[in-house]
Amino acid sequence: MGTKPNRSMRIERHRLLVIAETLRPFVPKNPLFPILDNVLMVPKDDFIVFAATDNQNSIEYLLPITEIEVPNKSSVCFDILLVADYIKNLKDEFIELFFADNGLSISHSKGSIDIVIQSASEFPYKEVIEPEKLSDANGSEFLTGIKAASNIIKIDREYPMPSDSIHIKSNEPGYVDIFSSGGAAYRFFSVVKASVTDFEGSISIHQAQVSKLMNFINRKPSIQIGIHNGNIIAKDSNSIVSIVTGTYTAPPYEKIKDQIVKATVIFNKDELSSCIDRLSASIRGIEKNYLVIKSNENCINFALNNYTYGISASENLDPVEITGELDIVLDLTQVSKSIKFIESDQIQLVVFPAAVKFSSAGNDNAFFVTGLINLMK
């Protein structure tokens, strides 16, 4: 190592791997400032804090000192992802880390490794400030909403646009609406409700930052969320994150309630999904894929023509219930994305003059709106 170790830590191997994976989304790849490849380990009250940042978004993982053996509580900056990759296949229950001024040595039953470490004073550490008010959120519902919103955003441009963002807005008591728009002129957007107690306000998160929030929430039954200095703060029992937000124009989704209903159809979800999957297989990556949906006596006909490959497909579905007549054209990809996140045995399709809405039959806890296509233009 070059110099005699002056700090040491003994920690469960599994715990160190969990910490590394929690921090991984916040450690940038090939950063402009190489020190951001590292994390900072710093003492804080009765915890050892593992902190990572990409200079915009930050995370802290708090490890109680009682869970580790750490004789010398001083700050250290090191590459935890390299360490995790090195120890992940070991069988040791505990790992010993020995720190010197310029290096880290890891000792285990099979051998050891020496790693150069960085100066802790050079790490751009900014403590994540917990807001005065945090709201309890259902982790599963929150994640579903963010995934659905992220899923429909269409990023096919060289440079990100303000519309490539998701929005979280307090609405009725006990819930927030999580929504986003994909495509131009808000012709395709999603809205999913998530249970959140006593949350007020609205925030927007650019698509480039959304994956960090999804990774943090993943597999957590509950989290806490709040706002501090315009950033969204999310917290669980071990860690806290700060995600940068912005000012982005949100789709006017609430106006859909005022639209005139021309027709309503309820489908069995499994049957509709299977039909759409088969039709999707025929488009073979073609971007413009127009799905024609028409009433056909007592059933509904779904037809698609792939002129590029000379493929024509048509299927009939028996609706569970229907009111009015259907004769519409939709984007097949948008239909497929819409029904993917609706958790229900039955899917309701409501037709308006210029758009349609897909939702669970009986409630609007999750709905997707896509614009009608006029093939005569």
Q: What does the pLDDT look like over 106-134, one tens digit per residue?
A: 988 888 899 999 899 999 998 999 999 99
What pLDDT is recorded for position 286?
A: 60
What pLDDT is recorded for position 68?
A: 73
Higher pLDDT, 315 or 8: 315
What pLDDT is recorded for position 185?
A: 52
Predicted model pTM = 0.84
Answer whether residue 253 shows pLDDT above 50: yes
* Mean pLDDT confidence for 143-171: 77
What pLDDT is recorded for position 289?
A: 80
Q: What is the pLDDT of residues 56-84, one digit of tens each?
A: 999 999 999 877 766 566 788 999 999 99
Measured N-to-C along each axis, helices 332-340 and 269-281 cross at an angle, to the nearest 10 degrees, of 140
Contact 341, 366 (CB under 8 A): yes
What is the CATH code of the structural domain delimited by 7-122?
3.10.150.10
What pLDDT is recorded for position 165?
A: 87
Higher pLDDT, 143 or 312: 143
Cβ atoms within 10 Å, residue 249: 12
Architecture of domain 259-371: Box (3.70)
Report the DSSP pairing between strands 355-360 and 311-317: unpaired
What residue segments make up the domains of the chain, in order of their start?
7-122, 135-254, 259-371
Q: Which two tokens stand for residue 355?
A: 């758009």
Answer whether residue 155 shows pLDDT above 50: no
What pLDDT is recorded for position 349?
A: 97
* Mean pLDDT confidence for 176-190: 77
213 Cβ contact partners less than 8 Å away, ≥ 6 residues apart: 146, 205, 232, 234, 241, 243
Listing DSSP states for 282-346 in one string gives: TTTT-S--EEEEEEETTEEEEEEEETTTTEEEEEEE--SEEES--EEEEEHHHHHHHHHT--SSE
Answer whether residue 142 shows pLDDT above 90: yes
Contact 5, 98 (CB under 8 A): yes
**What are the angstrom distances between the C-alpha of 36 and each of 78, 232, 376?**
10, 21, 54
- Quote the mean pLDDT of the chain: 87
Answer whether residue 226 shows pLDDT above 90: yes
Query: Identity (one letter) of the amino acid at 120?
Result: A
SS (H, E, C) 226-278: EEECCEEEEECCCEEEEECCECCCCCCHHHHHHCCCCEEEEEEHHHHHHHHHH
Query: Identity (one letter) of the amino acid at 371?
Result: G
What pLDDT is recorded for position 156?
A: 47
Contact 372, 354 (CB under 8 A): yes
Class level of CATH domain 135-254: alpha beta
Classify residue 94 by burial, with Cβ atoms within 10 Å: 0-12, 13-18, 19+.
middle
Residues of the chain above pLDDT 90, percent: 55
What pLDDT is recorded for position 312?
A: 85
As a whole number of angstroms, the distance between CA 291 and CA 373 comes to 9
